[in-house]
Amino acid sequence: MGKSRFLGVATMVALVFGVVFLTNTPQFLKYTKGDIKNFEELEPNELNIGDLVKGTIDFTDGSFAEMEETNTTFGIETSKRTTKQYYAVYMYNDMYVAYETGNSEQIAKLDKLAEECQEYYESLENAYYNNDDDPDLSEIVQPSTEVEFEGTVKELPTDLDKLFREWYGEGYDDEVEKVLITRADFNRMGYIVYAGLGCAVLGIILLIVTIIVWRKEKTENSFSY
């Protein structure tokens, strides 16, 4: 492989990484302005694609979908692991929303919270079943696990929307936010954007060098015997 071809490949890699990293720029600008929505204070259908949101999750009906990564060797499956979980989160405005996370600590806490919520619902059902007129709710244990999060609002993919709709059932259109909150780390946004700028600048420099080397190689080849 000639020098110009090698430099061309390096240029493309740097520019691709630069573009990918710089897609976080709009969110980073919102973060620097403090334009972050409070999860506890949201009104129904207030979330828009591109929003930043943070707050506390204290009610969830658990995971309704997951993303798996499968490794194969010579076409044979060798291992499989779950990389992301999608939770049906109950919001403070009485709506549900899908929350995506691949963080193992968050997943463990959300699974624990889901168990607590299930026990709470079952206790309520038993209390009303045993005494419809005046159920004793004083001994029912409220869910206690809380999950602090930061997230970005994205479009809910069609396949995920279908799974969420099938899982939720009747009332989906009126009681579910049609967006996806995906876990984010606001403190890392700046590093990602700066890395994107660095890759973009490096790509431009490499592009100039590539053109110079290509012209030099072309000239040398023109006078070779």
The helix/strand/coil state of 87 is: strand
Is residue 179 assigned to a domain?
yes
Distance CA 100, CA 157 (A): 12
Structure tokens at 169: 């059932």
Indicate the number of domains in the chain.
1
Is residue 225 assigned to a domain?
no
Is residue 75 assigned to a domain?
yes
Please give the angle made by the CA atoms of 160, 162 and 166, to the nearest 5 degrees.
120
- pLDDT tens digits, residue range 42-95? 999 999 998 999 999 999 999 999 988 766 655 565 556 788 999 999 999 999
pTM: 0.69
Is residue 53 assigned to a domain?
yes
Distance CA 167, CA 161 (A): 10
- pLDDT tens digits, residue range 50-65? 899 999 999 999 999 9
Which domain does 102 fall in, by range? 3-220
Is residue 68 assigned to a domain?
yes
The helix/strand/coil state of 176 is: strand
